[in-house]
């Protein structure tokens, strides 16, 4: 019998991760991305693609690092709602995108969500879990991670929740 090879699709809410992580003295987005992707690949399996969702101002600051990593950047502009208040479009865009990608790439085994935001819980329950996919979570820190997301994260073979903390510290 042939062993099933794990394939991971990653989607990162950059603003959520950056807002909720402690910034070290020597900060490197590339070092943090290298570290977290290597760790997930070693623990889980092949990362087939990484998509970073961010408002234009934040995405452009990190554009070179994303390009060098081979990540795809998806710009999510902030828009004015009916009351004239600025509204974030990342959660909505990222959720719709993940639904489409899971349908288009049939051999995905894991979906990695880079956000501590509980707004993704409904999409995970209604769409990703029903497809039989495993959930990996990347967060800025444990304090910012929704308890609902913690419950939805699957366990690895050692029985440990697949939750990874992003650290942009240079080694």
Residue 57 pLDDT: 86
Instruction: Name the pTM for this structure.
Output: 0.89
Q: What's the pLDDT at 124?
A: 92
pLDDT of residue 69: 84
Domain ranges of the chain: 14-23+31-46+69-85+101-114+132-144+151-171
Place of tokens 């894991």: 110
Per-residue pLDDT of the chain (171 residues; tens, 9 = 90+): 455 689 999 999 988 888 766 665 667 777 788 889 999 999 999 999 999 999 988 888 888 888 888 999 999 998 888 888 888 899 999 999 999 998 898 899 999 999 988 989 999 998 888 899 999 999 988 888 999 999 999 998 889 999 998 877 665
pLDDT of 151: 94
């Amino acid at each position: 019998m042939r062993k099933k090879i794990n394939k991971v699709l990653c989607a990162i809410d950059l603003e959520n991760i950056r807002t909720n992580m402690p910034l070290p003295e020597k900060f490197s987005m590339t070092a943090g991305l290298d570290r977290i992707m290597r760790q997930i690949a070693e623990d889980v399996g092949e990362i087939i693609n990484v998509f970073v969702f961010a408002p234009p101002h934040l995405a452009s600051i990190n554009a070179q690092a994303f390009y060098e990593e081979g990540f795809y950047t998806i710009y999510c502009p902030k828009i004015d709602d009916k009351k004239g208040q600025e509204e974030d479009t990342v959660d909505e865009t990222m959720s719709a995108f993940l639904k489409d990608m899971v349908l288009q790439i049939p051999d995905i085994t894991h979906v990695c969500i880079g956000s501590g935001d509980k707004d993704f819980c409904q999409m995970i329950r209604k769409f990703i879990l029903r497809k039989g996919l495993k959930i990996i979570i990347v967060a800025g820190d444990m304090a910012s991670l929704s308890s609902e997301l913690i419950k939805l994260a699957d366990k690895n073979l050692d029985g440990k929740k697949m939750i990874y903390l992003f650290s942009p510290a240079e080694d």
